A and B are shown apart, each in its own frame.
Chain A
Amino acid sequence: MENAGKIRITFGNNNFFATFGNEACIKEVLDLTPVRVNSGCRGNGACGLCKIKILNDHVPEPTVTEQYHLTAKELNNAVRLACQVVPVSGMHIQVINAAQFFGSSVIRPTDYYMKKAFFPVSDVPRDKKHGKYGLSVDLGSTNISAVLWDLYENKRISGRRILNKQAQFGSDVITRIVAANESGANAHRLSELALETIGNVIYDICSQDGYNPFEISAVSIVGNTAELALLCGRNYENLLYPKNWVKKIECACKDKSPWTYKWCINPNALIEIVPPVGGFIGSDLSAGVLATDMAKPGKCCLLLDFGTNTEIALWDGSILWVTSAAGGPAFEGCGLSSGIPAGPGAIYKIDASNNSPDFICHTIFSEWQSRQPKGICGSGIVDLIALLLDADIITSKGKFNHFQTNSYELRTGAGEFTLTKRDIDLFMRSKAAIGTGIGFLLKSSGVVAEEIDHIYICGAFGKNLNIPNAIKIGLLPVVNPNIIDLCGNTALAGCEMLLISSKSREKLELIKQKTNLINMANEPEFDMFYRENLFLRPMEVS
């Protein structure tokens, strides 16, 4: 950060601070906060919608663009365009014209893992007349993420993450599948909600950044099997029966015209749902395998995509062993007394303090002074449990040491957050499901933990995970922490590769042929594995 500083932002009755680094204008600073300013041109000065008012004396001279779009009265009243004003530390601004709220946030290219992934050149032949943009979508149960590509320039041009509207049917996929199975109306509604959410992302990107949605000529979608099946409105019921958990579940868009209509994209657009691996294992996992390039000959790699349904892949050098562990939404902060998803207001990291018995909490968007912690997300819970173990407040069986206590109050400047015995229990069960999954894959492949060359941790939960703590409580196998990479959204990255490159498609085909799906429900030793993995202690792999 060359130019780091802080500006004060007033929006309605709220005041907060935002820090900036190399952002060129106030609009870019606001884009990274939940209060985005309205825009119709991506900030090139064409639309005049990004109005702000400067409330202290840091009022810059108006640019030619501002003189064109704003009235003399507005200019005199210190109204300016957010895309024209360079942030200066100490500036106090008011957002006059805020963007429509979809619960979406801007994804910047650097926001997710791409470091070690091979990123191929765009070579998928496209029909120019249908438009030059392509969209990659990661359809998650909690969030839907999408990135818009310029297929000719071979460039990522915009991206958003947005809350999945299907949440009104419950936060986990099983609840949603059961609801869909209950009535055709529910199933229809669930499909509509997913379509609407994707439509909102497209609308948000195109209207804010000034792209013509009718020029979107290709859409690739990855996701977990349940979400993809619900989107298509078919075959979701298969997932209710264990016999189908290793089978292929067909998810394809049979009639794209209602989709292209709803999304307002080119009617001839190619819509491709990347087929799930089988059972609950979706194409988000295969996309992640692709993005991390983990399936290299002679290497041993493990990939964990944490979620309600954690997907695990182990590459033993020649075969990809995959399974899914339905650990429940504890890692996403759901179902716990003080749990919330990893978003603004979530305590995502907790440290011990040298000089106080209280722990130090780090909250997402902590630089916003008015933003107080609202709860603890998955990675925060991992830290808290590890710290409580260290401090001998709880035992490896998840019991409180002090006989009269059944909960712990995490004190923060902004109130207390409770972790109960029941919360710990729930967390232990989620954790055990993952440990069991890893255990079975290691056993099936004959790999031992020490042989693993690399571990990739994907998803929002993974991004903030404290690795030594995760190893300590048995969420990850005992390995050298240096071989663990926190990768962020690899499903989206893989989906982008599939959108633009035929090499990636070939590679995915090859991986598929080498994939072996393990259904843990069929394993007689499941109970034993699960029981062993319940303990809050480093993982033992027999």
Chain B
Amino acid sequence: MNDLLLRDFVTHLLEGDCSQAVKEAERLISSGYTAEQLVRNGIEPAAETLNEKCTSVQFNLLEIMLFGRAATEVMKVLYPGGSAVDSNKGTLLLATMEGDVHDLGKNITKMVLTCKGYRIIDCGKNCCISQLIDMAVKENPFAVGVSGLISSVVPKVRQIRQAMDEQGLSQVKIIAGGGTLKQLTPEQLNVDFVAETAFDVDRFLIEILGGENK
């Protein structure tokens, strides 16, 4: 979506101007924008325009780094840390798979879902399947969320289901998200659900949680 009123916000993010981006975010919120709108129509499209700065051939560290910082600062304002009322909606693991170091999207998802009352265990980026499984055994989550931005992690994502089943974790759902994974179907990824955005996932979680609580 291309929201003209968010144009300045996107520009500040892309220029990596933290204070201006934060200021603009606060202004937009007070004029009635939701945090969700700022993420989906501001941060996400801004990242999209960095595409050609981060191909497999070209890579411009500085611009991406500045954008990452600005986006993180804005998120802190949108979702002040630990503001979860209480984390009674159950536990969810989050991870970026082995070989993938993109974690902006995962971190945003973590903030959004924490605020919505989930207990989030962050397994970090470049996380291998065995680490993920160990954590799942320990924390007993109702679902595992994997974020994937580069296509080469797809084979790893597909292996999670079987690895979990082997550890008796068949009841644990798998949710995939992130720029690359969301272009594939649950069947192609061998997961239960593919989330378009961090917000979209809430609906799915409510569905499964609702189902189990009955």
Q: Do A and B come from one complex?
A: yes
Q: Are A46 and B152 in contact (CB under 8 A)?
A: no
A-B contact count (CB 8 A): 55
- Complexed CA–CA distance, A42 and B99 (Å): 12
Q: Are A45 and B59 in contact (CB under 8 A)?
A: yes
Q: Are A68 and B155 in contact (CB under 8 A)?
A: no
Which residues of B lie under 8 Å from residue A68 when comparing CB positions?
A: 61, 65
Q: A64-B61, A207-B152, A212-B150 are in contact. Are A49 and B54 (CB under 8 A)?
A: no
Q: Are A46 and B54 in contact (CB under 8 A)?
A: yes
Q: A41-B59, A44-B59 are in contact. Are A49 and B101 (CB under 8 A)?
A: yes
The verdict on B151 contacting chain A, using a C-beta distance below 8 Å, is: yes
Number of residues of chain A lying within 8 A (CB) of chain B: 26
The verdict on B192 contacting chain A, using a C-beta distance below 8 Å, is: no
Q: C-beta contact mask, B52-65 vs A, less than 8 Å → 1, else 0?
A: 00101001011001
The verdict on B121 contacting chain A, using a C-beta distance below 8 Å, is: no
- Complexed CA–CA distance, A40 and B59 (Å): 13
The verdict on B28 contacting chain A, using a C-beta distance below 8 Å, is: no
- B-binding residues in A (CB < 8 A): 38, 40-42, 44-49, 64-65, 68, 100, 199, 203, 206-207, 209-214, 261, 264
- Complexed CA–CA distance, A49 and B102 (Å): 12
Nearest Cβ distance between residue A525 and chain B, in whole angstroms? 53
11 residue pairs of the A-B complex, CB under 8 angstroms, read A38-B99, A40-B100, A42-B56, A45-B61, A46-B54, A46-B61, A48-B101, A212-B151, A261-B188, A264-B154, A264-B155
- Complexed CA–CA distance, A206 and B59 (Å): 16
Closest to B183 in A: A214
Q: A40-B99, A47-B101, A68-B61 are in contact. Are A211 and B56 (CB under 8 A)?
A: yes
Nearest Cβ distance between residue B106 and chain A, in whole angstroms? 15
Q: How large is the interface on B (under 10, 10 to 19, 20 to 34, 35 or more residues)?
A: 10 to 19
Q: A40-B101, A42-B56, A49-B126 are in contact. Are A206 and B152 (CB under 8 A)?
A: yes
Which residues of B lie under 8 Å from residue A48 when comparing CB positions?
A: 101
Q: A45-B59, A48-B101, A210-B56 are in contact. Are A199 and B155 (CB under 8 A)?
A: yes
- A-binding residues in B (CB < 8 A): 54, 56, 59, 61-62, 65, 98-101, 126, 150-155, 188
- Complexed CA–CA distance, A68 and B98 (Å): 20
Contact partner, A213, options B98, B152, B188, Cβ 8 Å: B152
Q: Are A203 and B101 in contact (CB under 8 A)?
A: no
Nearest Cβ distance between residue A248 and chain B, in whole angstroms? 35
Nearest 7 CB-CB pairs, A to B? A207-B152, A206-B152, A207-B99, A212-B151, A46-B59, A210-B56, A264-B154
Q: A41-B59, A46-B54, A64-B61 are in contact. Are A213 and B99 (CB under 8 A)?
A: no
Q: Are A206 and B151 in contact (CB under 8 A)?
A: yes
Q: Are B59 and A203 in contact (CB under 8 A)?
A: no
Contact partner, B150, options A38, A40, A44, A199, Cβ 8 Å: A40
Nearest Cβ distance between residue A442 and chain B, in whole angstroms? 49
Contact partner, A203, options B100, B126, B155, Cβ 8 Å: B155
- Complexed CA–CA distance, A47 and B101 (Å): 6
Q: A203-B152, A207-B99, A207-B152 are in contact. List 20 more A-B contacts (CB 8 A).
A: A38-B99, A40-B100, A41-B59, A45-B59, A45-B61, A46-B54, A46-B61, A48-B101, A68-B65, A100-B98, A207-B150, A211-B56, A211-B152, A212-B56, A212-B150, A212-B151, A213-B152, A213-B154, A214-B154, A261-B188
Which residues of A lie under 8 Å from residue B99 when comparing CB positions?
A: 38, 40, 49, 207
- Complexed CA–CA distance, A253 and B107 (Å): 43
- Complexed CA–CA distance, A264 and B97 (Å): 16
Which residues of B lie under 8 Å from residue A211 when comparing CB positions?
A: 56, 152
- Complexed CA–CA distance, A40 and B153 (Å): 10
Closest to A100 in B: B98
Q: Are A212 and B152 in contact (CB under 8 A)?
A: yes
Q: Are A214 and B56 in contact (CB under 8 A)?
A: no
- Complexed CA–CA distance, A335 and B59 (Å): 50
